[in-house]
Chains A and B, each alone.
Chain A
Amino acid sequence: MNRRFLLLALASAIMLGGGIVYELTKPPSFYGSVITPPASMPDFTLQSVNGPVKLSDFWGKYVLLYFGYTSCPDLCPTTLAKLQQVVTRQADWMPQVQVIFVSVDYLRDTPEKLNSYVRSFSDGFIGITGTKEQIDVVTREYGIYYKLNTSDPQTDFYSVDHSASVLVFNRQGEMVLTWPYGLDVYQMASDLQELLNR
């Protein structure tokens, strides 16, 4: 009887231990698209309202980089509002994560306008832009598509086509993940939690 009990206890311990080891060593699962191995990206400098901003200024933090334009009524505010909810999901995340909004609309968006725009989502967000030549270099190097469409002759308004994914950089400035448009706050927060635990 005692022997049978011991065997059962041993089997249970092995199963429990195996489960713990599996949980600790299993590869992390992400909702976003994982970049393997993490991609070292060229640094860049664009203008914020407080002067030049380099991506390498934020090494040591996770960076969430999003390209868009402030006249965008739909997708850009939706994404930035989601990112605000993601980074404020836990109190200690904000100091570890930097959201940077790059405007590709070099004709309309100034650093001042961008600053006002991004701060309406969060005081911690940074908005940057540059000349056409600077934007062209950054978007090419980062695999971002954009196109300023022709103005409507009646309203003079033009829309901008642009890549809608958020690029996620680790503390070493390497791109580790992209979040395609459509992920919800829970999914992005889950990915961020996984990354911040590293």
Chain B
Amino acid sequence: MRIHVLSLMTLLGILLASCTSTPSSSSPSQPGIEISSAVVRLAGMAMPGMGVGEDSNLAGYLTIKNTGSTDDSLIGVQVDFATAMLHQTTVDSSGVASMKEINAIPVPAGQTVELKPGSYHIMFMRPTRELKAGESVELILQFQNAGSIKVQANVTNQ
């Protein structure tokens, strides 16, 4: 009987541990901020020689969930392969697209903000090395309140 109780407690312990661990999507979380679906897109850069050098730019996308009770903002991104900038694309009612650099992407408490095509995104300007689809690169995200968060982003063709 004692053995059974011990087994049950062990099982409960494992279950609790699995419930409180970070998601297995290789996206580390910090209190209040959860990052998922981080990608660096190679589209337009897949040819040999493209993606490195003058005025070649890549885009990065991810999802930020603020599970905390205070508002936060993504205020910067660092990578080892390019200069990273926060950008916002807008398409107006006449169908004209414009892209501008922004200082911060607000992530209100309890909200989820998606960096996606045609909206907020990270621009990786003039990559200094060629990235390959399938590899993983580190992004260091700087948040106003949560501080620095490291995530791994998948490099994808599209």
Q: A109: shortest Cβ distance to chain B, in Å?
A: 9
Chain A: CB-nearest residue to B51: A120
Q: Which of B41, B87, B97, B124 is within 8 Å of A77, CB to CB?
A: B41
CA distance A77 to B125 in the complex (A): 15
Check A76 against B44 for contact (C-beta < 8 Å): yes
Check A164 against B97 for contact (C-beta < 8 Å): yes
The answer to the question of B69 belonging to the interface, with a C-beta cut-off of 8 Å to chain A, is no
CA distance A108 to B54 in the complex (A): 9
Query: Given that A73-B57, A116-B49, A181-B118 are contacting pairs, would A164 and B95 also be in contact in the complex, using a CB cutoff of 8 Å?
Result: yes
List of A residues within 8 angstroms of B44 by Cβ = 70, 76-77, 80, 117, 120-121
Check B124 against A73 for contact (C-beta < 8 Å): yes
List of B residues within 8 angstroms of A164 by Cβ = 91, 95-97
Q: Is the interface of A mostly helix, strand, loop or mixed?
A: loop
Check B59 against A73 for contact (C-beta < 8 Å): yes
List of B residues within 8 angstroms of A77 by Cβ = 41, 43-44, 59
Chain B: CB-nearest residue to A109: B55
CA distance A165 to B45 in the complex (A): 22
Residue with the greatest number of chain B CB neighbours at <10 A, chosen from A74, A76, A77, A81: A74
Question: Which residues of B are interface residues toward A (Cβ below 8 A)?
Answer: 41, 43-47, 49-50, 55-59, 83, 87, 89, 91, 94-101, 117-118, 121, 123-125, 158
A-B contact list, 21 entries, CB within 8 Å: A73-B87, A73-B121, A73-B123, A73-B124, A74-B89, A74-B99, A74-B123, A77-B59, A78-B43, A116-B47, A120-B47, A121-B43, A145-B94, A155-B83, A155-B125, A159-B98, A161-B97, A163-B95, A164-B95, A165-B95, A180-B95
Question: Which residues of A are interface residues toward B (Cβ below 8 A)?
Answer: 70-78, 80-81, 108, 116-117, 119-121, 145, 149, 152, 155, 157, 159, 161-165, 180-182
